[in-house]
């Protein structure tokens, strides 16, 4: 049973910002009929945004619970996303079936981070993209963010540094690791990590 704070947070429309997905999509090239996986469905806004931005793609979105999902509030594209209740550490998907895997503002609270990245790598096609957008573990807000999350959301929360992410991604066999930040916001709270299979 989620806490009252979690239920309140799940109702906020900014629980997933479409700007994070937009920033990432501007930096990768996907095939027209791509198959895209989002880890951490939340309310479903991210998956809906991806389905609008990639109208010929099929978007899948997994979450360990569908309790926060708000399908009646979503505005999906012509191919609505498919939501799957599953753990990110054990994806019920065939190997090599996805052109991209997105993890947006979710990775910091997932258990077994190495296993999550390995599962993402497993389901990616050769040349597929792994995109992670999350809190910058070197930002001054790291500790306040973790404290609030530990109190109200998850005791697992950890804001990762670039070096920690690079290690997790390398051990999963992904390559071409790079980090991007919004122009003019090099010291910002958010960072985007990109890698390829």
Please give the pLDDT value at position 1: 39
Please give the pLDDT value at position 146: 86
Please give the pLDDT value at position 151: 87
CATH code of residue 120: 3.40.50.150
Count of structural domains, the chain: 1
Question: Quick count: other Cβ atoms within 10 Å of Cβ 188?
Answer: 12
Question: Using 50, 70 and 90 to split pLDDT, how confident is the model at 142?
Answer: confident
Among left, alpha and beta (phi > 0; psi -120 to 50; other), residue 77 is: beta
Question: Using 50, 70 and 90 to split pLDDT, how confident is the model at 186?
Answer: low
φ, ψ for residue 78 (rounded to 5)? Answer: -65, -25
pLDDT at 184 over 80: no
Q: Pull the structure tokens for residue 16.
A: 């997933």
Report pLDDT digits (tens) over 112-140.
999 999 999 999 999 999 999 999 999 88
Q: Pull the structure tokens for residue 37.
A: 């996986």
Report pLDDT digits (tens) over 35-68.
999 999 988 999 999 999 999 999 999 999 988 8
Domain ranges, residue 41: 4-196
Please, which residues bridge with residue 135 across strands?
A: 190
């Amino acid at each position: 049973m989620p806490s009252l704070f979690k239920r309140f947070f799940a109702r906020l429309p900014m629980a997933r910002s479409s700007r994070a997905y937009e920033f990432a999509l501007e930096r990768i090239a996907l095939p027209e009929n791509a198959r895209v996986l989002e880890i951490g469905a939340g309310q479903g806004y991210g998956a809906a945004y991806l389905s609008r931005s990639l109208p010929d793609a099929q978007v899948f979105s997994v979450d360990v619970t569908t309790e926060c999902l708000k399908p009646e509030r979503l505005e999906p594209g012509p191919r609505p996303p498919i939501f799957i209740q599953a753990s990110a550490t054990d994806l019920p998907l065939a190997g090599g079936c996805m052109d991209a895997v997105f993890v947006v503002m979710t990775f910091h609270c997932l258990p077994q981070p190495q296993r999550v990245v390995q599962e993402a790598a497993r389901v990616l096609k050769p040349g597929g993209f792994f995109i992670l957008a999350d809190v910058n573990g070197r930002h001054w807000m790291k500790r306040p963010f973790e404290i609030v999350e530990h109190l109200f959301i998850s005791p697992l929360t950890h804001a990762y540094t670039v070096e920690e992410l690079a290690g997790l991604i390398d051990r999963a066999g992904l390559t071409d690791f790079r980090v991007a930040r919004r122009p003019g916001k090099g010291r910002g709270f958010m960072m985007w990590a990109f890698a390829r299979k």
